[in-house]
């Protein structure tokens, strides 16, 4: 790994990490006067952040991030309760096409070639079709046909289903970058409204969405919990 530094003068190229005043600095060497130089972790994230379309190979990390974001809904969608089984099932659906959790609907954020965030989005009117493979598996697993999922998205909206950033990388603008990427996808597909849901017990996320221009349109229930359905016109 080679990291750009603030100075071009160096006697060494030994990389070291120092924790100083709760800020991580990555030093790339020393100046001619023997002073170490480098850049902050925040600068590294900013410089190295890369957004791209998801691939099947991202399934393991994506499953971890999805589970982190939707917790009890992940149990509902997979019919599992153990963490390893939930993530295995999420990874399976991520690798498959034409379902709400598919890599086809996902943009990933990378920092230094590590997947650190994802956003899943799709047209709201596609939600019933995208839910069918998940419902089919749940009905077969439980041997019950009367299993349904709560309606999350409205037709005519481009719906942000899931957004998740690894805890280590939160606070560096990655979530905002992913939301903006989903909004650009909405524009490319001819949508002017972008929607998402935020749980009532997640005020931090709601503050972010409000700053980005999202406004509460109604309150809905998902898996027995109250969510604000928020919309931004782009």
Task: Provide the residue range defining the domain that includes 7.
Answer: 1-49
Whether residues 63 and 12 fall in one domain: no
Q: How much is the pTM?
A: 0.85
Whether residues 27 and 111 fall in one domain: no
Query: What is the side-by-side strand order in the sheet with 36-40?
Result: 16-20, 23-30, 36-40
Whether residues 126 and 166 fall in one domain: yes
Whether residues 139 and 216 fall in one domain: yes
The string of pLDDT tens digits covering residues 110-127 is 999 999 999 999 999 999
Whether residues 6 and 19 fall in one domain: yes
- CATH number of the structural domain spanning residue 135: 3.40.630.30
Determine the pLDDT at residue 26.
54
Last residue of a domain, one of 32, 49, 66: 49
Is the pLDDT reported for residue 161 higher than 80? Answer: yes
Determine the pLDDT at residue 41.
83
Determine the pLDDT at residue 39.
79
Q: Strand, helix or coil at 108?
A: strand
Distance CA 172, CA 154 (A): 31
Last residue of a domain, one of 11, 32, 49: 49
Q: What average pLDDT is seen over the chain? A: 89
Whether residues 9 and 64 fall in one domain: no
Whether residues 209 and 142 fall in one domain: yes
Into how many domains does the chain fold?
2
Whether residues 36 and 70 fall in one domain: no
Whether residues 153 and 71 fall in one domain: yes
Last residue of a domain, one of 29, 49, 69: 49
Whether residues 168 and 195 fall in one domain: yes
Q: Any bridge partners for residue 30, and if so which? A: 36
Whether residues 119 and 6 fall in one domain: no
The string of pLDDT tens digits covering residues 202-229 is 999 999 999 999 999 999 999 999 999 9
Convert 189-206 to b/e letters by CB count within 10 Å (16 or more is b): eebebbbbbbbeeeeebb
Q: What percent of the chain has pLDDT over 70?
A: 85
Q: How far is CA 63 from CA 93, 101, 138, 162, in A?
A: 9, 9, 18, 11
Nearest to 107 by CA among 29, 55, 172, 173: 55
Whether residues 72 and 172 fall in one domain: yes
């Amino acid at each position: 790994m080679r990291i750009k530094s603030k100075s071009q003068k160096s006697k060494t190229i030994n990389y070291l990490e120092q924790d100083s005043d709760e800020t991580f600095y990555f030093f790339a060497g020393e100046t001619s006067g023997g002073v170490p130089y480098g850049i902050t972790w925040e600068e590294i994230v900013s410089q190295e952040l890369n957004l791209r379309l998801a691939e099947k190979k991202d399934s393991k990390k994506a499953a971890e991030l999805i589970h982190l974001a939707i917790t009890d809904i992940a149990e509902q969608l997979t019919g599992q309760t153990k963490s390893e089984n939930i993530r295995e099932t999420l990874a399976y659906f991520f690798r498959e096409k034409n379902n709400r959790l598919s890599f086809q609907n996902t943009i990933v954020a990378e920092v230094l070639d590590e997947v650190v965030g994802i956003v899943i989005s799709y047209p709201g009117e596609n939600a019933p079709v995208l839910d069918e493979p998940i419902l089919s598996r749940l009905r077969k697993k439980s041997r019950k046909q009367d299993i349904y999922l709560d309606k999350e998205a409205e037709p005519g909206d481009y719906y942000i289903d899931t957004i998740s950033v690894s805890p280590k990388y939160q606070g560096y603008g990655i979530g905002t970058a992913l939301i903006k990427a989903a909004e650009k996808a909405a524009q490319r597909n001819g949508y002017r409204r972008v929607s998402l849901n935020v749980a009532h017990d997640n005020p931090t996320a709601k503050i972010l969405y409000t700053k980005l221009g999202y406004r509460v349109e109604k309150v809905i229930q998902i898996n027995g919990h109250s969510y604000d359905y928020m919309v931004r016109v782009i």
